[in-house]
Amino acid sequence: MKNLNRISNLFDLVFEKINSRYCRFIMTIKMKFIGVHYKNNIQFYGLTKFKKASSAIITIGLNCKFRSNHTSNLIGINRPCILSALTARAKLKIGDNCGFSGTVIGAFNEIVLENNVRCGANTLITDSDWHLDDPRVGKSESIRICCNVWLGEGVKVLKGVTIGENSVIGAGSIVTKNIPANVIAAGNPCKVIKNI
């Protein structure tokens, strides 16, 4: 039984490596074609979806990982990563060593993720209410997620928010206000639970 387990795990590892190389090849062509600026060593597990207005800016730093395959994160991913810069002035900037699992990022104004940001499975980051033709919708407001922040599974970060460095946001939280550095925060709405 142990040998069967090892063989199964080895098969999964080999398949993941082959799939990652294939996905990276496809995604590199797609990023060049639509004008996404990126540095080397980006890894893709499954195909990430990009949507970019012609003069919008999307930049991705070194060593970032995008997990879009349902089983590439064992907590379970229910959608591919989707990165959007949807207006002519939109900017989406991702620093080095960031990780994403089924993460949706929608920039209408500006979203900045600094270095070493981890986005758990099925997270959402958006600086807008999306329905711009509806008079009840407010204006888009920039988001900044500082270095070493960890967003737990299912977290939603909404417009106008800054999350300070080294903070952890608990699973399922909805972040509607700024979160300071070096804290654990959780809930709906997300509030500070304790200092780190």
Residues with catalytic function: 131
The secondary structure of residue 49, as a DSSP letter, is E
Identify the three-state secondary structure at position 19. helix
Q: 155-174: buried (b, 16+ CB within 10 Å) or exposed (e) per residue?
A: bbbbbbbbbbbebbbbeebb
How far apart are alpha carbons 29 and 62 in whole angstroms? 17
Beta strands 162-163; 143-145: pairing state:
parallel
Secondary structure of 111-169 in the HEC alphabet? EEECCCCEECCCCEEECCCCCCCCCCCCCCCCEEECCCCEECCCCEECCCCEECCCCEE
Residue 19 structure tokens: 């799939």
Residue 55 structure tokens: 């003069």
